[in-house]
Structure 1
Amino acid sequence: MGWVFCSGQRDVYLPVLPLKQIKSLESELNVQLFDRTNNKIALTPGGTAFLEYARRLNDTYKAMLQDMEQYSSAKKTISMGILPLEQGYRC
């Protein structure tokens, strides 16, 4: 379940976020992100700008994770250990 609202030329789907989180974000940014009127919700100009930044941050994060894979998989280490045998052990 989520919200669909018009963002200029295309519809945007967002997962449902608790209103408290959205209000908190708007308060932190001191920007109203959504215009909430008559059972409709639409992005404000500030919300549209925020959405573009959020998309870029998400893309950058995904690229970083992908780039980091080369470092984590490049060095595979196998550790082995040998337990000491008790004295007097014979096969």
Structure 2
Amino acid sequence: MKQVFSEFHTFEKEEENIRKELLQRNYTLLGKTEKTVIADRKRVVAKVGRFAKKSFKAFGDETAFFEWLKECASQVEEGAPAAPVL
């Protein structure tokens, strides 16, 4: 009976270690995802900001980023010449 308890305890420890490892992997992936999102936003700001002549610094703020992008799009649309009618 002691052997069964010992094996069960070992199994519990292994399961806990696996759970901790998976949790750490998830945190690592989430960190990489956030870094990728911020890098993508920086690229968009570099490209779009030239057209609208607007800067942006709050790359971690999703709401502010999309508001800035909407303002830039409106500004570019207002300044763009009308498309010729064919």
TM-score (normalised: structure 2): 0.39
Of Structure 1 and Structure 2, the greater helix share is in: 2
Of Structure 1 and Structure 2, the greater strand share is in: 1
Higher relative contact order (CA 8 A, sep 6+): 2
TM-score (normalised: structure 1): 0.37
